[in-house]
């Protein structure tokens, strides 16, 4: 039996990480949990986020996951150390806004960050800035409502919210924008068009997938595997962010039945419809009751 990787997000956002994971771990069975009944996470408090994250992690372990990928910046910010402490026998990878790669590639050293309010007010985000922002000017924008509009596939609302939330970034004349929420990959074309030419978007899906693959390689070596789940793992933002049009790339990576299990706490039909409409993926989803 091959490796099972459990992946979760507050909803559909983590789907934007799946193609990178599939590329990095081509033989793994991916089990995805979308907590869409409770989305958005971005306006919840830390205790609530920790409780949901623990429940979903427990569910994914029960489906056989030996590696967990928290494909949600908000849940990572609130719950990663707790998840690792509760699952010492499991490698756990989180996702964080790519401050370091953004600063490295910004010519003007003015970068913007789009993320949820919960991510931006977290200690983890403050530490990320302290460690990697250097002398760069960082304009961080909490994009209230955007993840929900993406969950609903409401394109008019997405466009309006992107226009509103990118206004401070345009004003600050940033040349690089960090997508600090996995949902925002689905708004890439609106963000690109709102920011105009010459602005680069950075996301960390590939960095997360590479990190996950490296842990699997580590785990297959004779060295004590428990070490891979210690909280001292280097931050993901140390990897280079790469830019690509995720939805287009995803269309070339149709998951086949059998190596992908999809679960959602909201309507399975809605998740199936989202995957078909936004990714041209024909999947079948099951109800998640945790």
- For the question of residue 143 being annotated catalytic, the response is no
If binding is defined by CB under 6 A, does position 147 make contact with ligand DGL? yes
Which of the stretches 4-12, 160-168, 207-215, 260-268 binds ligand DGL when contact is defined by CB under 6 A?
Answer: 4-12
Catalytic residue chosen out of the listed positions 181, 191, 194, 260: 181
Catalytic residue chosen out of the listed positions 72, 138, 216, 271: 72
How many other CB atoms are found less than 10 A from the CB of residue 243?
17
Q: Which is nearer to ligand DGL, 3 or 37 (CB)?
A: 37
Instruction: State the nearest-atom distance from the C-beta of 114 to ligand DGL, in Å.
Output: 10
If binding is defined by CB under 6 A, does position 112 make contact with ligand DGL? no
Q: Which is nearer to ligand DGL, 19 or 223 (CB)?
A: 19
CA angle 266, 93, 257 (to 5 degrees): 50
If binding is defined by CB under 6 A, does position 74 make contact with ligand DGL? yes
Tokens 């962010």 — which residue? 241
Q: Which is nearer to ligand DGL, 39 or 136 (CB)?
A: 39
Q: Which is nearer to ligand DGL, 9 or 270 (CB)?
A: 9
Which of the stretches 68-76, 99-107, 217-225, 234-242 binds ligand DGL when contact is defined by CB under 6 A?
Answer: 68-76
Among 20, 24, 53, 73, binds ligand DGL (CB under 6 A): 73
- For the question of residue 72 being annotated catalytic, the response is yes
Contacts of 264 (CB under 8 A, 6+ apart): 11, 33, 34, 35, 36, 37, 270, 271, 285, 286, 287, 288
Which of the stretches 6-14, 45-53, 223-231, 271-279 binds ligand DGL when contact is defined by CB under 6 A?
Answer: 6-14
Catalytic residue annotation: 72, 181
The site for ligand DGL (CB under 6 A) is made up of 9-11, 13, 39-42, 72-74, 116, 119, 147, 181-183
């Amino acid at each position: 039996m091959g490796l099972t990787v459990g992946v979760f997000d507050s909803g559909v956002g983590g789907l934007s990480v799946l193609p990178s994971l599939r590329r990095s771990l081509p033989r793994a069975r991916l089990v995805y949990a979308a907590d869409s009944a409770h989305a958005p996470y971005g306006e919840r408090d830390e205790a609530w986020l920790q409780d949901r994250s623990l429940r979903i992690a427990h569910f994914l372990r029960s489906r056989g996951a030996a590696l967990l990928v928290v494909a949600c910046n908000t849940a990572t910010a609130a719950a990663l150390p707790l998840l690792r402490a509760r699952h010492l026998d499991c490698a756990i990878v989180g996702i964080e806004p790519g401050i370091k790669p953004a600063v490295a590639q910004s010519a003007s050293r003015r970068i913007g960050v789009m993320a949820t309010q919960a991510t931006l007010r977290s200690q983890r985000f403050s530490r990320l800035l302290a460690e990697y922002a250097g002398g760069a000017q960082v304009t961080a924008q909490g994009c209230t409502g955007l993840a929900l509009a993406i969950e609903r596939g409401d394109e008019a609302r997405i466009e309006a919210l992107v226009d509103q939330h990118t206004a401070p970034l345009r004003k600050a004349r940033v040349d690089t924008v960090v997508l600090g929420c996995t949902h925002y990959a689905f708004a890439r074309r609106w963000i690109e068009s709102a920011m105009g030419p010459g602005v680069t978007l950075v996301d960390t899906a590939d960095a997360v997938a590479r990190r996950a693959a490296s842990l699997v390689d580590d785990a297959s070596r004779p060295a004590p595997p428990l070490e891979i789940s210690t909280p001292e793992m280097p931050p993901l933002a140390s990897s280079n962010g790469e830019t690509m049009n995720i939805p287009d790339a995803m269309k070339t990576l149709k998951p086949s039945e059998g190596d992908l299990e999809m679960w959602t706490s909201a309507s399975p039909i809605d998740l199936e419809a989202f995957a078909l409409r936004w990714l041209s993926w024909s999947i079948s989803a099951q109800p998640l009751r945790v």
